[in-house]
Structure formats: structure tokens, C-alpha cells
Amino acid sequence: MTQYCYWQQNCNERDYDRDIKTMSKEEKVQEEAKTQDASIDKKATKPSKKEVVKELEESLQQEKDKFLRLFAEFENYKKRTTKERIELYGTANQELMTALLPILDDFDRGLKEIEKTADAHVLEGVNLIYNKFNNTLEQKGLKKMNFKQGDDFDVDFQEAITQIPAPSKKLKGKVIDVVEKGYKLNEKVIRYAKVVIGQ
């Protein structure tokens, strides 16, 4: 059996050698190219262990990067939503407070008129109601912004409704009169103070 296999192999090799000798030059080149392509394909289909390990390490690194990016995005999302929730709790009653501000203004005007005409007992009673109302609003986070004549004009908290010639050089660009008080709800401005500034 082994002799037959050996003889068959020798015959095949002799036939191949004979076929190559009878081939033209172009056919020989094509045949060599085919054998080279076949050997290249065998090498390409079976990568070395180093290449496999390198590919696995690269894909692992990519997955780690994706995970870290996703984790960072999630942490930022948690921080952002927590901050928004805190701000929402702080300004949840903003609409109600804004609606009560004109009543507070009317109270101020009414107190000034009562001081001129009414007796001490009426003034004291109205003052008690006013202070109670004011304190309740302050407990809910409402803060009055107090400005007076001569303060610097600050666009973050004030709104200039008009400019008039300044009575003195010191009052140029400064607050001359406060027409309407400004208010903050916690740290958010809900109404800018309306002021007149000097030109």
C-alpha cells in the first residue's frame, strides 16, 4: 500500500514537471501566480496568535472607552437633573409670588397714606397685618431688593425706565429714584426693580 502511494506521488510530480515544461511562458507565470495567491490566502485566513491578541486588546480598549463615556454621560445627567429638581423646588411657587407682588405694592402705598391721616391705633393694626403678610412671604423664599438714591445702576437687578438729567455730578449713571421695588425668589430674580437713573 505504501509503495503504491509513493509510486502515485512520484507519478503526479513527474506529470506536473512534464506539464510545466510543455507550458508557454505566460502560462507558467499564471500558474506561479495562482500558487502564490493560494499560499497568501492560507496565511490570511489563519492569523498569528499575536495578531489575535492584539485585535482582542484593541476591541477591549474600545469597549472600555465606550463604557467610560457612557458612565460619564450618566453621571452628568444625574447631576443636571438633581440641580433642575432643586431649582424647581426653590421656584415652584414663583407664579403665586409674582401674582402677590402688586398686592404687596398696594399695601406699601396704603401704609404711607394711613400714616398721614389715621390715628396711631389704626396704623398699628395695619402694620401688624402688613408685617405678618411680609414675614409669611419671606419664609417662602421671597426677598426684597432694597435700592436707594445714589446706588450704582446694576442691570442684573434693575430696569431703567427712564433717564433724567442728574441733579449733581455724583449721581450721573446712578439711581435717582426707585419707582417699583424688585424681588427675588430664593436667588432668582422674579421682578426687576424699576428705577430712574441720572444722565
**Residue 122 near residue 114 (C-beta atoms within 8 A):** yes
DSSP assignment string, the chain: -HHHHHHHHHHHHHHHHHHHHHS-HHHHHHHHHHHHHHHHHHHHHS--HHHHHHHHHHHHHHHHHHHHHHHHHHHHHHHHHHHHHHHHHHTTTHHHHHHHHHHHHHHHHHHHHHHHHS-HHHHHHHHHHHHHHHHHHHHTTEEEE---TTPBP-TTTEEEEEEE--SSGGGBTBEEEEEE-EEEETTEEEEPEEEEEE-
Range of lowest pLDDT (42-51, 89-98, 99-108, 134-143): 42-51
39-67 pLDDT, tens digit per residue, is 555 555 677 888 888 889 999 999 999 99
- Work out the mean pLDDT of the chain and round it to a whole number: 81
Domain boundaries of the chain, sorted by first residue: 90-198
**CATH number of the domain located at residue range(s) 90-198 in this protein:** 2.30.22.10
158-194 pLDDT, tens digit per residue, is 999 988 888 888 888 889 989 999 999 888 899 999 9
Grid cell in block for residue 114: 394711613
CA distance to 126, 128, 134, 137, 142, per residue, from 131 (Å) = 9, 5, 5, 10, 14
Q: Residue 122 pLDDT > 60, yes or no?
A: yes
